[in-house]
Chains A and B, each alone.
Chain A
Amino acid sequence: MADKYILELDSNKHEIAMETKNVQVFYGEKEALEKTSMQFERYKITSLIGSSGSGKSTFLRSLNRMNDNVPGASVKGEIIYRGLDINKNDIDIYETRKHIGMVFQRPNPFSKSIYENITFALKRHGMKDKNELDEIVETTLKQASLWEQVKDDLNKSALALSGGQQQRLCIARAIAMKPDVLLMDEPASALDPISTANIEETMLNLKDNYTIIIVTHNMQQASRVSDYTAFFNMGKAVEFDETRKIFTRPKIQLTEDYVSGHFG
């Protein structure tokens, strides 16, 4: 039984990168997210909006099984990726996370050089060729609009970069894995407006090759960059539709109040 306010995509017309079926998250006994079924179209940006504690980050973090590391958290339901339910116990979560990358709220570069930040995980996964690694560093930094600023300082510590640069480095690091899906958990919330604009530009660049799901508190950001928007409230996905519909004529009053700034 589909919720009538949650848009269902026609899989003949839209390529689905990922979808959830009745995903439900508990922290201990407490239900943090009610059953949520949602589809994410390939090469599109989907925004998850809603006030703090609405369950949007919880939902995002369950998509690449990052909630596995939260003590007491349990995720029920199905998360379908390439026809496979990746929420099953026998799934290799480390392999899964190579396909579904993540960028976090606060920039978290490793305390290594800029070059190492990008190549380190690749090397761990068995990539040895120096030329190939160099090339990946260059292309990913270009995609993240950081190359021009750091190309002469690749061996310097990533920690010496500004917050916005660090976040773009984290994006470069995530896309160096060549994931299908990129999850972004409020990637610009700790940044100034210029850095935010840079990140948004980066996201629009990435859209050609990646499916992006982003949690954001910033309404303008959601309306500017995303194709689809899901509104979460009190641990429930209330409404999911094309972004322009959510922002111009939402079906639910609550959504309207939220996107127009009357609450939250």
Chain B
Amino acid sequence: MFNAKVKDKIATGIIYTLSGIIVIILASLLLYILGSGLRYVNWDFLTSTSSDFSKGSGVGVQLFNSFYLLVISMLISIPISVSSGIYLSEYAGKSKIVNVIRISIEVLSSLPSIVVGLFGFLVFVIYFHMGFSILSGALTLTVFNLPILTRSVEDSLKAVPGSQREAGLSLGLSKWETVIHVIIPSALPGIITGMVLGAGRIFGEAAALIYTAGQSAPPLEFSNFNIFSPTNPLNLMRPAETLAVHIWKVNSEGLVANADQVSAGSSAILIIAVLIFNLLARYIGNKVYKKITGGE
């Protein structure tokens, strides 16, 4: 009835339409959030402290908290995920134990973030007496992020052809040298892309942080160098409400008069930050690849 050409046209048409719908949804979401939020974003909004009650508050502390939490949690999760990714891809081979590890990682990566948050609350906040703190939040985000980072490291390493490993070994390099100096450099663009995308994901994470990093943002004094003071920005043991948590809180229990504006503005900032992460991931990935391979 249909010849191959017609079938091909119909199939292509369907694929184009479906992809078009995705693009339209994404674009309208972005336009809506940026359109309704950007007008509230100004220097004052980005830097001033928030208030639960009064008008005209900003999100400066939350913005700082989001970045700081991100840095701390990446500092914890990158070494762990890179080592376990290397182990799984290069050394583990096939065995029952490795299968169990893989299944665990899969299960862990599909856990809802609110469940991870409650786990973090029970273990880090309560059991280890860390309280609502940057540290609790960062550790919880690590639990949340680790499976995905590990997976992305493992996949990037596995994508390097086996002939590269043989090349290294045939030149008298040890397996470890081959992994470190041949395989990882080749996989680095993929690894970095995975890391930055993971960073974007945890930057926007709220549910896992509500019960761990807390919902309060004490004003910070950037001139305070006492690391144990709750107003020292770098103090790991202070509570730290992030931007994403702030949006949730302002909307659910905020008493500020301009809650709509604050949440719209915060959303815009959040979206921009995540966008930057995504673009950065591509840019750095390409850049590193070119640098390593020696030009074009």
Q: Which residues of A contact B (CB under 8 A)?
A: 64, 66, 69, 71, 94-98, 101-102, 104, 106, 108-114, 116, 120-121, 124-125, 155-160, 170, 173-174, 177
Residues of chain B contacted by A114 (CB below 8 angstroms): 294
Q: How many residue pairs bridge A and B at CB < 8 Å?
A: 85
Contact B292 A94 (CB under 8 A): no
Contact A66 B169 (CB under 8 A): yes
Residues of chain A contacted by B172 (CB below 8 angstroms): 94-98, 121, 125, 177
Name the one of B166, B174, B292 contacting A108, with C-beta atoms under 8 angstroms.
B166
Complex Cα spacing A119 to B295, Å: 18
Contact A155 B294 (CB under 8 A): yes
Residues of chain A contacted by B173 (CB below 8 angstroms): 94, 121, 124
Interface string of B170-189 (1 = CB under 8 A from A): 11111001000110011000
Name the one of A120, A121, A160 contacting B296, with C-beta atoms under 8 angstroms.
A160
Contact B170 A113 (CB under 8 A): no
Contact B167 A110 (CB under 8 A): yes
B99 within 8 A of A: no
Residues of chain A contacted by B94 (CB below 8 angstroms): 71
Complex Cα spacing A114 to B296, Å: 12
Chain B interface residue bracket vs A: 20 to 34
Residues of chain B contacted by A95 (CB below 8 angstroms): 172
Name the one of A69, A111, A157, A173 contacting B169, with C-beta atoms under 8 angstroms.
A69
Q: With contacts A66-B166, A95-B172 known, is A124 near B295, CB below 8 A?
A: no
Name the one of B171, B174, B177, B292 contacting A111, with C-beta atoms under 8 angstroms.
B292
B158 within 8 A of A: no
Residues of chain A contacted by B292 (CB below 8 angstroms): 111-112
Q: Which residue of A lies closest to B180 (CB)?
A: A124
Contact A174 B170 (CB under 8 A): yes
A92 CB to closest chain B CB (Å) equals 9
Residues of chain B contacted by A170 (CB below 8 angstroms): 167
Complex Cα spacing A158 to B295, Å: 10
Q: With contacts A104-B163, A104-B166, A108-B166 known, is A113 near B171, CB below 8 A?
A: no
Interface residues in B150-178 by Cβ distance below 8 A to A read 161, 163-174, 177
